[in-house]
Amino acid sequence: MDFEREISNATDCRGGYIAGGVCVFLFVMLEGVKHVLLVLSGKGGVGKSTISTQLALALKESGFRVGLLDVDLCGPSVPYLLNLEDRDVHQSSDGWIPVFADKEQKLAVMSIGFLLKNKDNSIVWRGPKKTGMVKQFLTDVVWQNIDYLIIDTPPGTSDEHITVMENLRNVKCDGALIVTTPQAVAVDDVLREVTFCKKTGIHIFGIIENMSGFVCPSCSECTNIFSAGGGIALSKMVNVPFLAKVPIDPQVGKLAETGQSVLVTLPDSQVAQVFRKLVEELTQSKEA
């Protein structure tokens, strides 16, 4: 409770002050970060957090140092997906020390989930308070030297997104990965997210279509539960590269408990191949 109060009032009161000063802090804190990637989707429940965590793990497996920042304040999923639910963030003189998912400290994670005492507690915050928190996440976390900072976002095009976009404007933000599912209802919302990126000048790496088809374990028939082809159609419509198609795999859902990379536990699965290719593409485009 103390923590919530502290943040709320600091934000309310400093509203005007922070706007001018933030860039300086940001520059310092994100100095050691080489690349920033955003994972976005207008729609909820399409797999943003799953893709973010698996991508972070896959980059880590490829030898990079990775940071994962979860700015979904009302529904943080990253701590659960990486099996870090009971961990705490520590405060140092330089700022917040993120939680490390591995012994070698190659994957650093920050989420509001680490700051809550009880997992059932809801964060009932209006925009300005969320904005304050997101700013703190961007300015007060000691990431140290990392190659990739992946930012996992909530659905929509509102406070969290505007804040992240505004604050990253002065830092090198490499671009956004847009996640969608194939059905028209999801594509509608994702189209709006693409518009958001275009309006705000965020580069889009490409579109990932998740939950593309389900292979029945007993008869091997592939059913397109959420219809098919929505992601490709969208990428053509908005002229953005189509990066990958990830099938529904209940095995991947179960990985959540272990916090392990699909590359390690299910190296031969289709999902693993997709992530291997994705890492390749991302790292290549960086070097070029």
Partner 1 sequence: MADIPSDISQHCPGTASKDAGKASICTNCPNQMICASGISQQPDLTADLIKRKLSTVKNKLLVLSGKGGVGKSTITSLISRSLASSNPDINVAVLDIDICGPSQPRVLGVIGEQVHQSGSGWSPVYIEDNLSLMSIGFLLANPSDAVIWRGPKKTGMIKQFLSEVDWGALDYLILDTPPGTSDEHLSATSYLKHAGITGVIIITTPQQVALLDVRKEIDFCRKVNIPILGVIENMSIFVCPNCNNSVEIFPALTGGGCVMAKELNVEFLGSLPLDPLLAKCCDEGKNFLTEIPESPTILTLQTIVQKIIDRCEKIKHPSEIDTT
Please report, for residues 54, 85, 87, 105, 176, the alpha-carbon distance to residue 81 in angstroms, rounded to integers and kept in the order given. Answer: 9, 9, 13, 18, 21
Which of 90, 172, 203, 254 is close enough to bind partner 1 by CB under 8 A? 254
Site for partner 1 in 127-156 (CB under 8 A): 127-128, 130-131, 154-156
225 part of the interface to partner 1, by CB under 8 A: yes
171 part of the interface to partner 1, by CB under 8 A: no
- The torsion region of residue 202 among left (phi > 0), alpha (psi -120 to 50) and beta comes to beta
Distance between CA atoms of 162 and 160, rounded to whole angstroms? 6
Distance between CA atoms of 48 and 44, rounded to whole angstroms? 8
Closest distance between partner 1 and the C-beta of residue 113, in Å?
A: 9
CB 87 within 8 A of CB 115: no
95 part of the interface to partner 1, by CB under 8 A: no
119 part of the interface to partner 1, by CB under 8 A: yes
- Choose between 8 and 144: whose C-beta lies nearer to partner 1: 8
Site for partner 1 in 30-69 (CB under 8 A): 42-46, 49
Distance between CA atoms of 196 and 42, rounded to whole angstroms? 9
Closest distance between partner 1 and the C-beta of residue 280, in Å?
A: 28
Closest distance between partner 1 and the C-beta of residue 39, in Å?
A: 14
Instruction: Spell out the alpha helix ranges (H) of 101-249.
Output: 127-140, 159-168, 184-200, 230-238
186 part of the interface to partner 1, by CB under 8 A: yes
As annotated, the binding site for [4Fe-4S] cluster includes 216, 219
- Please give the size of the binding site for partner 1, defined by CB under 8 A: 79
Characterize 101-140 residue by residue with b for buried, 16 or more Cβ atoms within 10 angstroms of its Cβ, and e for exposed: beeeebbbbbbbbbbbeeeeeebebeeebbbbbbbbbbbe
- Choose between 141 and 252: whose C-beta lies nearer to partner 1: 252
- Choose between 83 and 283: whose C-beta lies nearer to partner 1: 83
Which of 62, 83, 144, 224 is close enough to bind partner 1 by CB under 8 A? 224
Closest distance between partner 1 and the C-beta of residue 67, in Å?
A: 21
185 part of the interface to partner 1, by CB under 8 A: yes
Residues 26, 60, 47, 190, Cα dihedral to 10°? 50
Which of 64, 96, 125, 205 is close enough to bind partner 1 by CB under 8 A? 125
Judged by DSSP in three states, 36 sits in strand
